[in-house]
Structure 1
Amino acid sequence: MADVARKAGVSPMTVSRAFKQDASVSHETREAVLRATEELGYVFDSTASNLRSQRTDFVAVTIPSINNANFADTVRSLTDGLAERGLQILLGYTNYDIREEERLIEQLLRRKPEAIVVTGGKHTPRARKLLSNAGIPVIETWDLPEEPIGHVVGFSNALAVREMVDHFVATGYRKIAFIGGDADRDTRGTDRRAGFIAAIEDHGLDAERLIAAGPPPISMREGANAMGRLLERFPDTEAVICVSDLSAFGALTECQRVGIAVPEQIAIGGFGDYEIGAICVPRLTTINAFAAEIVAKTAQLILEVLDGTLSGEPGRITIQPDLILRETSR
């Protein structure tokens, strides 16, 4: 900073004020400081300033997958939504493991974020304690936990799947299967599987057509392999609901490989409304969880809490997923 000050012909304190957009620094002086900074390749160290202000200007975020389109869009959109306030994202990748989530939460909280956003509503007891005692806004997303820690922006995965089951039954399907959601690591997938079982049993149908697809994240290949096992074990299946659009696309390609017509011989439904589901042939029936709306409301909630404009009880924003009917079902 002293080098920049000498080159710009100002004091180090003026350099500091210029970086903080202090109104006492004139436009001309700020431009001179910025030119000197550019020429010297200097990067302002905000550590000391943050220590004085007790602000770190970043929000911690945990996601279960970095190659899932919905979660990638979540991080990108959240970054954009907070950037105008000068807030940055510090990202933690849990790989669908709540024990890894616990470790990451502890590491992230040590860095004193302004808020923390976690994906899902199920955590280890220690992770819940860490979040409850963090003293910062906590936002749980992509779920509707029964005992929320703080703020919530999400939806019921079980009820979303129920909507597809209800439609399939109303359309005339009776022998309906489910692929995925068998691993405890994917708590939202497990909820979708539980929602499927409950809905099928409520209709008085057999809920035994459950095919494991392996640990999350479930790929297109694993979806195809699971579909192959389903066809071998339950060849009379009329419809299948998959835990995600990726596994549903894999199931679709397996049907095409073995010559089973979709939806004439078997209907397929996915979850997530991924881009691939809208462009594959035939196009995929799916559930749109409105990822963009979850992100927008999460960003808005963070800003309102940090600005002090949100008072009273923690916010609980419920998103209503939508069943999108396309060509893989009637």
Structure 2
Amino acid sequence: MPAAIAMSRVPDSMNRTPPTADSAIKPARRLTQRPTIRDVSRLAGVSRMTVSRALSDPDLVLPETRARVAKAVADLGYVVDRTAGSLSSRRTGFIALMLPTLTNANFAAVAQGLTEALREAEYHLLIAYTDYDMVEEERQLRNLLARRPEAIVLTGAQHRRTASRMLNSAGVPVVEIADLPSQPIEHAIGFSNYQVGRTAARHLIDKGFSRIGAIAASPGGAVTDHRGEERMRGFEDELRLSRQPTDWVLRHGTAPVSFHHGAEAIALMLERQDRPQAVFAVSDLSAVGAVMECQRRGIRVPEDISIMGFGDFEIGREINPALTTIHVDFRALGNRTGAMLLDMLASDTVAEPRIVDVGLTIIDRASVGRV
């Protein structure tokens, strides 16, 4: 029988990521001017023509010279300006948006909210995605910057060194979303993924469970869901603080997670003699896959095992039993990002860096029972 939906706010005391409201911070300031080909030529000790040739037709340049130019480009975070010959002003009307995937409904909601906020001001999105690959993020960032966006929005706060240099040197507003880094590149709008994990563990502990598990993708290498791993870190820390074992925390497979990932991971747990009483999945996609696998095996949810997710995806609301989850308003996150950008782009001065916490909410549905 369907369960009533109860919504409860997460206590501020569980959030370890300060601050929780708009506030000024003091990270290293971004450069106000983009590096130029002249800067590269000076650093490399060669002429601008040689730099141009090394970038456009490298076979015409000696290997040693190419290496010096490449090092100068990397050190400065220089990006080729492909619009320099056609633009008479700095305004392009484009905002760059970098997402880890296009198949996640929450990231689609971010793009929708951002588009809604920017549309009336006649700004348009240039969207790229990385498949959770930091090398691909760097490549896509270089491509986006070459088209001179007026601002850059990208997901998360983990970047390779060269990507960070390009962002610091971009000369336009940079906003990192869906996370709350203590030292962002410039601005951040999101929520604490660490708090998500702690909140999920505390919810299951408060329900009376003592054998509590979690499932996520394995970290490591270029392809890593850093936000999912932060959720797992928070989950494990809350278990330890409550003197609960972490024996049933499972990292399995590679990002991005999916229904299939959840089915595979829960199958491994169910084969253990001491299987867990409750499981948190770092995404509703894995959680739904886990529920489906349990049903295929004749294991009742939540009577035999409780399952909880993150993201409040539509499918989690429609399956039976409906999925207990943690909700973040990703569309509103996109709206707030757009509003912040419009405010900054309308100003003649560089905005002070800000961190904005959009918060999160537990939605208690039928897939989690009580001991």
Structure 1 and Structure 2 fold alike (TM over 0.5): yes
Describe how 1:48-63 pairs up with structure 2 within 5 A.
51-63=87-99
Distance 1:172 1:309 in 2: 56
Distance 2:335 2:349 in 1: 16
The answer to which of 157-166 and 134-143 deviates more is 157-166
Q: Does residue 202 of the first structure (1) align with residue 238 of the second (2)?
A: no
Distance 1:292 1:72 in 2: 8
Query: 1:93 pairs with 112, 116, 129, which one?
Result: 129
Distance 1:98 1:211 in 2: 23
Q: Does residue 159 of the first structure (1) align with residue 198 of the second (2)?
A: no
| Letter in structure 2 aligned against 1:276 | I
Query: 1:315 pairs with 315, 339, 354, which one?
Result: 354
- Counterpart position of 1:252: 291
- Give the secondary-structure state (helix, strand or coil) at the position aligned to 2:252: coil
- Counterpart position of 2:151: 115
C-alpha RMSD over aligned residues: 1.7
CA contact (8 A) 1:182 1:193 kept: no
> What is the CA distance between 1:319 and its match in structure 2?
1.5
Describe how 1:216-295 pairs up with structure 2 within 5 A.
216-233=255-272, 235-295=274-334
Distance 1:216 1:104 in 2: 19
- Aligned residue pairs: how many? 284
Distance 1:293 1:223 in 2: 28
Distance 2:257 2:355 in 1: 29
- Give the secondary-structure state (helix, strand or coil) at the position aligned to 2:271: helix
Describe how 1:23-62 pairs up with structure 2 within 5 A.
51-62=87-98
> What is the CA distance between 1:48 and its match in structure 2?
9.6
Runs of 4+ in 1 over 3 A off after TM superposition: 47-50, 309-312
CA contact (8 A) 2:197 2:230 kept: no
CA contact (8 A) 1:262 1:328 kept: yes
- Counterpart position of 2:40: none
> What is the CA distance between 1:53 and its match in structure 2?
2.2
- Go from structure 1 to structure 2 and tell me whether the alpha carbon gap of 1:274 and 1:309 turns closer, same or farther (over 3 Å shift): farther
- Give the secondary-structure state (helix, strand or coil) at the position aligned to 1:246: helix
CA contact (8 A) 2:174 2:185 kept: yes
> What is the CA distance between 1:181 and its match in structure 2?
3.8
Report the TM-score, using the length of structure 2 for normalisation: 0.74
- Go from structure 1 to structure 2 and tell me whether the alpha carbon gap of 1:117 and 1:236 turns closer, same or farther (over 3 Å shift): same
CA contact (8 A) 1:115 1:137 kept: yes
Query: 2:228 pairs with 168, 189, 209, which one?
Result: 189
> What is the CA distance between 1:112 and its match in structure 2?
0.8
Q: Does residue 126 of the first structure (1) align with residue 158 of the second (2)?
A: no
- Go from structure 1 to structure 2 and tell me whether the alpha carbon gap of 1:145 and 1:264 turns closer, same or farther (over 3 Å shift): same
> What is the CA distance between 1:146 and its match in structure 2?
2.2
Distance 2:167 2:275 in 1: 48
| Letter in structure 1 aligned against 2:310 | F
Q: Does residue 68 of the first structure (1) align with residue 104 of the second (2)?
A: yes
> What is the CA distance between 1:180 and its match in structure 2?
0.7
The answer for unaligned runs of 5 or more in structure 2 is 1-82
| Letter in structure 1 aligned against 2:206 | A
- Counterpart position of 1:145: 181
> What is the CA distance between 1:131 and its match in structure 2?
0.3
CA contact (8 A) 2:197 2:233 kept: no
Q: Which has the higher helix share?
A: 1
Distance 2:273 2:360 in 1: 30
> What is the CA distance between 1:311 and its match in structure 2?
6.2
Higher relative contact order structure (alpha carbons within 8 Å, sequence separation ≥ 6): 2
Once the two structures are superposed, what CA deviation does each residue of 1:6-56 show, in whole Å capped at 9, x if it has no partner?
xxxxxxxxxxxxxxxxxxxxxxxxxxxxxxxxxxxxxxxxx8997122211
The answer to which of 70-79 and 197-206 deviates more is 70-79
CA contact (8 A) 1:209 1:234 kept: no
- Counterpart position of 1:300: 339
The answer to which of 69-78 and 248-257 deviates more is 69-78
- Give the secondary-structure state (helix, strand or coil) at the position aligned to 2:304: coil
Once the two structures are superposed, what CA deviation does each residue of 1:111-149 show, in whole Å capped at 9, x if it has no partner?
110000000011111111110111100000000112200
Distance 1:74 1:151 in 2: 16
